Chains A and B, each alone.
Chain A
Amino acid sequence: MDNQFFVDSEYLSPEVLAKKHRLESDPGFRKNHMEYMPGMEIIESDVCNNVLTHMNSYDPSVYTKKDVVAALEHTTCTIEDFKALLSPAAEPFLEQMAERARLETSKHFGNTVYLFTPIYIANYCENYCVYCGFNCYNHINRMKLSMEQIEHEMRVISDSGMEEILILTGESRGQSDVKYIGEACKLARKYFRMVGLEIYPVNTDEYAYLHECGADYVTVFQETYDSDKYETLHLLGHKRVWPYRFDAQERALRGGMRGVAFSALLGLSDFRKDALASALHVYFLQRKYPQAEMSLSCPRLRPIINNDKINPMDVSEKKLCQVLCAYRIFLPFVGITVSSRESAKFRNGIVKIAATKVSAGVSTGVGDHESKYTGKEDDSMQGDEQFEINDNRSLDNMYKDIADEGLQPVLNDYLYV
């Protein structure tokens, strides 16, 4: 089923609606998505060119059963092997791929599975990304937590036993500037052992500042590596600038961050090409920054408030599993995170094959951890969710389920040095 992303809200004025419609229908009205905006740092790097060269020439249909068998027999998985493993020809080999992936995962990670939870501290956004619940034209409850509210939320989460936190905001420099996020990081260092960020891309010096505040990991999803398709989905705001987003991880590493995470949002464009580009983004950056810790996520499209029809298109669970096995075989050393967008059943299965990190006790709303964790009614305002989650398990339940599978749940394996 094709996605129908455009939804009009009755709360928008005629002028705003007219602008929204023009952005949706008139490409000439939109800013050039390949052109940097004022203040955006430009770095010299060949990584993007290397990734795009491979992605643009990739034709999944040319690979055959023979290529897949050869890929599975090779000790080291080459880029060509990886392309074969992502292709339709590899679909009948899913069990064999899973076997190999499981072996590679156990070599590098034993039987450990890491746990974390996200905290959304603000959901204001200046962008119009048509698939996202936070987009500026979507009528939702907006909220930005004060430092007191952030601390309260963090205490609730910390009391649940969680030790790794991922701080998220909507992409609004105006509402949630770098200083605000830095203060949140300082608070997080008090309550958690490991602090990660998933915020709008910033410049190298800003990443360095956030690192000093206590963050050591940065996640930026490229959404799609097909810049032409990207242009049709991110119609307004700084997020529209595709190359600035692409170089975010490299700037984060130059700013002193220990690790970076990558992903495409599978279902926006050709998922095989996007999976190839995501993994090659990791591969080429790792060669340039060998000390960096790298990880991959694999989000699929989910329904949002005011648009419950959004779906992951052709990326079925089987295809997602194929992508994750291929990631693991090609990049045995990288972390693979599977979020609560996926079902409990899928996550229970994939941690035994390829995934090394899962979220638990998740809310994608703002300021609602206490009511979600304790069931306590809360009259104070809360901000709406970015998307609907699928797996609602608490930390305790997730911990128990992982241990019951014979795996070792790990709450922390990190030191800020």
Chain B
Amino acid sequence: MDNDKLIIGGHEFNSRFILGSGKYSMKLIDAAVKYAGAEIITLAVRRANTKDQENILDYIPNGVTLLPNTSGARNAQEAVRIARLARELGCGDFVKIEIMRDSKYLLPDNTETIKATEILSKEGFVVMPYMYPDLNVARDLVNAGAASIMPLASPIGSNKGLATKEFIQILIDEIDLPIIVDAGIGRPSQACEAMEMGAAAIMANTALATAGDLPMMASAFCSAIEAGRQAYLSGLGRVLTRGASASDPLTGFLRD
């Protein structure tokens, strides 16, 4: 397990839990990072577009990699502008592309996301696109220079878990980049399940923000993600659906 690193765009991470920073009190960010064991934290560039006294950047602990997102962008052009602004603000080269043309479900626009990925990867960004899990789109994102793929599990904020499970599994099986499950993960058990499937990491925000005790929930997610990762690496055992099964019930007649 010690050598089991998450590698994104050439950068190595030990933690497989990416923490959101919106939706909850900024004074809790420090505790959330600590209990989650997180090494990457997202932040909305638009939320960092504020005066000094309330700047969320001041609340991010040292040594944590910032993953600025382009929320608020409605097309590729706006996402590119927000990403460049993030770099100017000193947020580094990582960027999570979020492009929404829908204010109700906040579902990502895959077509515009491909366009923005292509532009920003050429500009040297480590591009992590948030997307609706579609294999063809994921392949286009790979070709456009993405550093990871971030499919949604269910609508953002819904805490509904792995509604797109089958399609995320296809991405895990077919795409060589890290698949990071983002949006909709509501419980540690759902995070664990995604990790068992072979997801490279989990991103969560609302599940923590709406928990009774945020640091404790962060810790619970951390444990669940580690457990799921270990289960994946160890190889899941056979699932018995109806009692014990005889060995080779169908092909036993072929035995010598």
Which residues from chain A sit less than 8 Å from chain B, CB to CB?
106-112, 161, 163, 193, 286, 290-294, 333, 403, 406-408, 410-415, 417
Q: Is B144 an interface residue (CB 8 A)?
A: no
In the complex, how many angstroms separate the beta carbon of B186 from the nearest chain A beta carbon? 9
With A408-B24, A408-B25 known as contacts, the answer to whether A414 contacts B209 (CB < 8 A) is: no
Contacts of A411 in B (CB 8 A): 50-51, 54
With A106-B210, A417-B81 known as contacts, the answer to whether A412 contacts B49 (CB < 8 A) is: yes
Q: Which of B22, B25, B159 contacts A107 (CB 8 A)?
A: B159
Instruction: Report the bound CA distance from A79 to B108 in whole Å.
Output: 26
Contacts of A414 in B (CB 8 A): 46, 49, 72
Contacts of B46 in A (CB 8 A): 412-415
Contacts of B104 in A (CB 8 A): 286, 290, 333
Asked if residues A291 and B23 are in contact (CB atoms below 8 Å), the reply is no
With A107-B158, A290-B104 known as contacts, the answer to whether A417 contacts B23 (CB < 8 A) is: no
Asked if residues A417 and B49 are in contact (CB atoms below 8 Å), the reply is no
Asked if residues A291 and B102 are in contact (CB atoms below 8 Å), the reply is yes
Contact with A along B15-53 (1 / 0, CB 8 A): 000000011111000000000000000001111011101
Contacts of B103 in A (CB 8 A): 286, 290-294, 333
Asked if residues B49 and A415 are in contact (CB atoms below 8 Å), the reply is yes
Q: Is B74 an interface residue (CB 8 A)?
A: yes
Q: How many contacts between A and B, using CB within 8 angstroms?
A: 84
A-B contact pairs, 19 of them (CB 8 A): A110-B22, A110-B23, A110-B206, A110-B209, A111-B24, A112-B24, A193-B49, A290-B102, A290-B103, A291-B102, A291-B103, A333-B103, A408-B24, A408-B25, A408-B26, A412-B49, A414-B72, A415-B49, A417-B81
In the complex, how many angstroms separate the beta carbon of A262 from the nearest chain B beta carbon? 14
Q: Is B100 an interface residue (CB 8 A)?
A: yes
Asked if residues A291 and B49 are in contact (CB atoms below 8 Å), the reply is no
Contacts of B85 in A (CB 8 A): 415
Asked if residues A415 and B23 are in contact (CB atoms below 8 Å), the reply is no
Instruction: Report the bound CA distance from A193 to B52 in whole Å.
Output: 13
Asked if residues B44 and A413 are in contact (CB atoms below 8 Å), the reply is yes
In the complex, how many angstroms separate the beta carbon of B26 from the nearest chain A beta carbon? 7
Q: What 8 additional pairs, Cβ within 8 angstroms, besides A193-B50, A293-B103, A414-B49?
A: A106-B210, A107-B157, A108-B157, A110-B23, A111-B25, A111-B209, A412-B47, A415-B45
Instruction: Report the bound CA distance from A360 to B210 in whole Å.
Output: 26
Which residues from chain B sit less than 8 Å from chain A, CB to CB?
22-26, 44-47, 49-51, 53-54, 72-74, 78, 81-82, 85, 100-106, 157-159, 205-206, 209-210
Instruction: Report the bound CA distance from A417 to B45 in whole Å.
Output: 12
Contacts of A107 in B (CB 8 A): 157-159, 206, 210
Instruction: Report the bound CA distance from A407 to B27 in whole Å.
Output: 11
Interface centre among B78, B100, B206, by most chain A C-beta atoms within 10 angstroms, is B206
Instruction: Report the bound CA distance from A161 to B209 in whole Å.
Output: 26
Q: Which of B23, B72, B100, B159 contacts A109 (CB 8 A)?
A: B23
Interface centre among A161, A193, A410, A417, by most chain B C-beta atoms within 10 angstroms, is A417
Interface centre among B46, B78, B158, B206, by most chain A C-beta atoms within 10 angstroms, is B46
10 interchain residue pairs of minimum CB distance: A110-B23, A110-B209, A415-B46, A291-B101, A417-B78, A408-B25, A290-B102, A412-B50, A107-B157, A106-B210
Contacts of B72 in A (CB 8 A): 414-415, 417
Contacts of B50 in A (CB 8 A): 163, 193, 411-412
Asked if residues A110 and B47 are in contact (CB atoms below 8 Å), the reply is no
Q: Which residue of A lies closest to B49 (CB)?
A: A415
Contacts of A408 in B (CB 8 A): 23-26
Instruction: Report the bound CA distance from A412 to B158 in whole Å.
Output: 24
In the complex, how many angstroms separate the beta carbon of B42 from the nearest chain A beta carbon? 14
Q: Which residue of A lies closest to B28 (CB)?
A: A408
Asked if residues A112 and B22 are in contact (CB atoms below 8 Å), the reply is yes
Q: Which residue of A lies closest to B72 (CB)?
A: A415
Q: Which residue of B lies closest to A162 (CB)?
A: B51
Instruction: Report the bound CA distance from A398 to B90 in whole Å.
Output: 31
